[in-house]
Amino acid sequence: MKLYTSYFGNLKKLRDAGVIPIGISLYPPRWFKGLSIQQLAPHRYMLDDKLTEEEYTRLYKDRVLRQLLPTSILKQIETLSSGRDVALLCYEKPGDFCHRHIVADWLRIECGIEINEFTILAKEPTNSPDSSQQSLF
């Protein structure tokens, strides 16, 4: 099982790649009918735009992650996905500050697993002949 992070807007690409989406936001989109792990969602008061990234990170680690056992969360992810590849989802686009990256760092530190942002890899070139026009002379 590989673990990724991603966002709800990437859902079709995740499903096309066979990756199980698991929401970790407080309020998943209404159209999202997938799996969720609410224990990883931030508390409502943490969504205040007045918090700095540092304040948010401290609050999230102290009030959410510190209350959880990382090995139990990992086991829950594995059970929900039946051992298939998983992406932990929230709303923010890649590169934006987000709690899913804090979760990824937490699992990396506590469980020794690597979690990367899901990206579509370019297809490997095939060994088919070059389709460009060759000179006959």
Output the 3-class SS for the chain: CCEEEEEHHHHHHHHHCCCEEEECCCCCCCCCCCEECHHHCCCHHHHCCCCCHHHHHHHHHHHCHHHCCHHHHHHHHHHHHCCCCEEEEECCCCCCCCHHHHHHHHHHHHHCCCEEECCCCCCCCCCCCCCCCCCCC
User: How many distinct structural domains can be found in the chain?
Assistant: 1
pLDDT digits (tens, 9 = 90+) for 10-58: 999 999 999 999 999 999 999 999 999 999 999 999 988 899 999 999 9
pLDDT of residue 136: 46
pLDDT digits (tens, 9 = 90+) for 36-46: 999 999 999 99
pLDDT digits (tens, 9 = 90+) for 83-120: 999 999 999 998 899 999 999 999 999 999 999 999 86
pLDDT of residue 121: 53
Domain membership of residue 125 (yes or no) is: no
pLDDT of residue 48: 83
pLDDT of residue 119: 87
Whether residue 124 has pLDDT greater than 80: no
pLDDT of residue 127: 52
SS3 22: strand
Domain membership of residue 26 (yes or no) is: yes
pLDDT of residue 49: 85
What range defines the domain where residue 18 resides? 3-117
- State the DSSP code for 124: P
